[in-house]
Structures are given as C-alpha cells and as structure tokens.
Amino acid sequence: PNKTHLVRAVSQPKRQVFGNGPKTVIAVDCGMKQNIIRSLLRFPLRIIRVPFDEDYTQEEYDGIFISNGPGDPARCIETIAILKKALRKKKPLFGICLGAQLLALAIGASTYKLKFGHRGHNHPCRDEERSRCILTSQNHGYAIEEKTLPSDWRVSFRSLNDHSIEGIAHKTLPYFAVQFHPESSPGPTDAAYLFGQFFQSL
C-alpha cells in the first residue's frame, strides 16, 4: 500500500470552514482526524480545512496546521512543494504525525520506514527542552532521519523505546511538529498542551 498515494484517497476534496475566531488557521487535510478540529476549536480560531494539494499560500492567514495521514510521506509531492512556499512567510506552523514527516521533507531532511511501527497508547517520549517524559498515543510507520536535519532545527521529542525522533522544532521560528497524536481520544492527555502552544504562537 505504501507504493500508492494513500493521502489522495483520504483527503477531503473540498475546503471546509469551522469556527469564527479572530485568528485564521489553514488546516491541510492529509487524512485529518475529526478530533484535531475539535481540539483546535477549543481556542478562538477560524479554521479553513483545505485538501492536501490546494495551494493556500496567497491567502491571508495566521498559522498553518499539517495533519496526520497514511502511507509514505515522500508520495505527497504536491503537499511538500506548497509547504516549502508557505515556510518562506514565517507564519507559525504545527504538524502532527504525517505532518511532522512532511515538514521534515520540506526543509530538506529525509524520512525512513521504521522496522517496527509505533502503534497504540502509552508510548513514552522525552520532551528534550523541558527534560521530562510524557505518555503519548502513536500510529505511524515512518520517522525522520536525525542526521539529515538542517542545523537550524532541533529534536524536540524523542522516543524512549527506540530513540527515534518524535518531534522537531525550528530553533528561532515558530515551526514545530510531533510524530504522536496529542488529540487522541481515548488516550493519554499529556501532550494536549501542544494545541495551546500553537495558539499562543499565532
């Protein structure tokens, strides 16, 4: 299945608008879980959910969210190309799961297929900035190759099971992404604060 463009099969074909807050977030749907929308709407936001291949870079917005989704991130050529353009605007950006892998590819890093994918709840991850452990929900088969990260990026979270990258962040700009699912329900809520962190950056 990873030889096909799975994101094309699951992304919403038309844009949708949720909420009416003063800040606007472009949410790129690569197979987005509905609870991500609910998690974002806990804050006063207007969310424009766009298909994976829609170019939103000429619009007015305050931040970008890149969703989870299935398959090999390298297949999402269109999404990566649009993301590269969006990064030039230096608007806050938050990615989850596939969104983290797509962000990595857009900044010139590489991804690889894990020998054993991360599936299920209660995966321990170390927050590298705060030196603490959180429990996470995970469902991914690919990861970011650490040695390919540009020098202006850092590892923000790391798996305590296999030490693979679980999150990346820019050292100075408001860009960050995680491999796990802070919106997961049911599941641990340790990482739910990341949605607030994204909102505060807008």
Catalytic residues: 97, 181, 183
The neighbour count for residue 62, using CB atoms within 10 Å, is 17
Check: CB of residue 103 under 8 Å from CB of residue 67.
no
Instruction: Provide the token pair at 19.
Output: 């909420």
Beta-sheet pairing, 23-29 with 45-51: parallel
CA dist 100 and 27 (Å) reads 14
Q: Which helix (H) or strand (E) holds 116?
A: strand 111-127
CA dist 57 and 81 (Å) reads 11
CA distances from residue 100 to 60, 64, 93, 96, 195 in whole angstroms, order as listed:
23, 12, 10, 6, 15
